[in-house]
Amino acid sequence: MNINKKNIIIGIDPGLNNIGLSVIEFYHNKIFIILLKDIKLSNIKNIYLKLITIYLKIKKIIKLYNPTFLVIESIFLGKNVKTMRNLIQLQTTILLLFIYYNIPFIEYSPKTIKYIISGDGNCSKKKIKNILENILNKKLNYNKNYDYIDSLSIVICHIMIIKTKLKLKN
């Protein structure tokens, strides 16, 4: 990622009932929020209908914003095999779209995201939201069910990592 060129970064927090989505422009060390959105899937019970729904919605976002990069939260491995299978199918559906459009991507674990942003891999969503508000100098609507906060934190985490790598390189 070249910080001297305009970058459109999509952040995704995948979930079976709600997907957090953010579209961010990063240019000359400045961060601009283009879109913060939750895609609700809880009313769709069939996993295959969820997959096609998210496929169509993410495809539309890709075509509309022409992103240069995707950052996505990695899947937390739980004990429910059916849920894990469905989450893997969901994430694969999303990643295949980005592969098809030749858009590079990277995954970060929830602990890594929290640690990079706050210095504490176990901090609360509310604390992350407060830190994001300070970084962006912008008030964010907050509800513990707003997954777009998570998607935004994934993008900010990635930008912080890129900036640190550039500093170390110089």
Tokens coding 29: 């060390």
Q: Are 113 and 77 in contact (CB under 8 A)?
A: no
147 carries an active-site annotation: yes
73 carries an active-site annotation: yes
b/e map 48-73, b = 16+ CB within 10 Å: eebbebbeeebeebbeebebbbbbbb
Q: Which of these is catalytic: 73, 107, 120, 150?
A: 73
Q: Are 158 and 8 in contact (CB under 8 A)?
A: no
Burial of 157 (0-12, 13-18, 19+ CB in 10 A): buried
Following DSSP, what letter does each residue of 53-83 receive, concatenated?
A: HHHHHHHHHHHHH--SEEEEEPPP--S-HHH
Q: Which of these is catalytic: 13, 107, 120, 150?
A: 13
38 carries an active-site annotation: no
The residues that are catalytic are 13, 73, 147
